[in-house]
Amino acid sequence: MPNRMVAVASGKGGVGKTFITANLSLALADHLSSVGRVVSVDLDLGCGNLSTCLGVRSPSGSINDFIMGRTSTLASTMSLTDSTNLQMISGAYDGLIDAQLTMDWKQRLLDQICDLDAHYTTMDLGAGTSDNVMDFFLAANDRLLVITPESLALHNAFLFIKSAILHLIDQELSKARHLAPVRQEVHEILHHEKGVDLRTLIARLKEWDKFSAYLVRGMIDEFQIKLVVNMYRGGEEKKYLQRFHDLLLRRLYLRNFQYMGMVHYGRKVHDTAQSLRPYIRSYPRDHVSRDIHEVAARLVRRIDDPEPVLRFPD
C-alpha cells in the first residue's frame, strides 16, 4: 500500500487544526495497528507545535535539519511517539525557513514525504492561505480543512477554499503553453473585479470564450476537499454550517466535498493542552475521542468508497 498523504489545514488559527492532526494521527495508527504505520509531519514552518500535542517532549530531530542540510533524508529526523506505529517529524522553529522556502525546496520536501515508510502521512500545515500552505495542501491525496461553526472561522474557511481552487486553476493552466491566454484572462478578471466569486469568474470567461469557461469549470468540479467540523455544540450552529454549505454550492460551484465528521466541543480539551499528553490517550472513552476515531475510520474507508458526500450531516 503506497504512502497516502493527508494535509490538514485551516482558514484561521484557533480552530484546533493541530489538535485534530495530532489526535487523528494517533487514531489512524490505532486503526492500522496490525497492517501499517503512520507518520505525522509538522509543516507549520516557523511556529509549529505538533510535537507538544503528540506528547513528544524532546524531538530527536526536526524538519529544519533536512532543510539546513544537516541530514540528507527527512526520514532520519523522525521521533518516536507513545504509539508503536506512529512517528513524527517536528517543525522548524525559524520563521525565515517559511519565508525562504522555494518551489524547488517544497518539491524536495514533498518527494521525501512521499518516500517515507508509512501507509499514511498526516501533514499539519500553517493556518491561512500562503503559497506554502496552498502548494502542500493541493499536493496531498486527502485534503482536510478543519472548521468551527462560528461566523469568522467559516468566513475564513470559505476564503481558504476559494484561494485553494484559484491556486489549483493557476497551476493547471500554467502546465501547457497553449493555455497561457486562458491563464492571462483569468488573471485579468480577478484583477479588475476584486472579490469575484467563482460563479462570476465562469460567467466572465464564458463571455470571452466558452471553451475556456468549460475547461476551468471542469477543474473546479474535480477539486476535492474534506471537512472536519471541530468544537461543535449543535443548536444554532447547525444553521451557520448550513449557510456555509449553501455558499460552497452557490458561490464556489463546489460539488466534490465530503463531511468527514463532527468533533463535538469538550471542556477537557484546553486542560490537556498543558499536560503534554494526547487527548485520546488521556480520555480514550470521551465523546471527543470517539468523534476523532470516527473521522479516522471514515478516512480509511474513503479509499475503497471514494464517492463524495454532498448531504449536509445531521
pTM of the model: 0.92
Confidence of residue 261 (pLDDT cuts 50, 70, 90): very high
Determine, yes or no, domain membership for 39: yes
CA dihedral 165, 167, 171, 177 (to 10 degrees): 100
Sorted by sequence, the CB contacts under 8 Å of residue 295 that are 6+ apart come out as 20, 24, 27, 228, 260, 261, 263
User: Per residue in 17-47, pLDDT tens?
Assistant: 999 999 999 999 999 987 789 999 999 887 7
Give the number of domains in the chain. Answer: 1
Give the separation between CA 45 and CA 56, rounded to whole angstroms.
17
CA dihedral 179, 184, 186, 192 (to 10 degrees): -170
**259 in Cβ contact with 313 (< 8 Å):** yes
Note down the domain range covering 34: 4-147+224-237+256-301
Q: CB neighbours (10 Å) of residue 275?
A: 12
One-letter amino acid for residue 191 of the chain: H
One-letter amino acid for residue 301 of the chain: R
22 or 302, greater pLDDT: 22
Determine, yes or no, domain membership for 20: yes
User: Per residue in 87-129, pLDDT tens?
Assistant: 999 987 665 566 668 899 899 999 999 999 999 999 999 999 9
Rounded to 5 degrees, φ, ψ at 287 are: -65, -30
Determine, yes or no, domain membership for 189: no
Determine, yes or no, domain membership for 31: yes
Residue in this structure with the C-alpha cell 500562503, named with its chain if needed: 130
Q: What is the CATH number of the domain that holds 13?
A: 3.40.50.300
Determine, yes or no, domain membership for 172: no
Determine, yes or no, domain membership for 208: no
Determine, yes or no, domain membership for 289: yes
Candidates 15, 12, 79; CA nearest to 51 is 79
User: Per residue in 121-178, pLDDT tens?
Assistant: 999 999 999 999 999 999 999 999 999 999 999 999 999 999 999 999 999 999 999 9
Determine, yes or no, domain membership for 126: yes
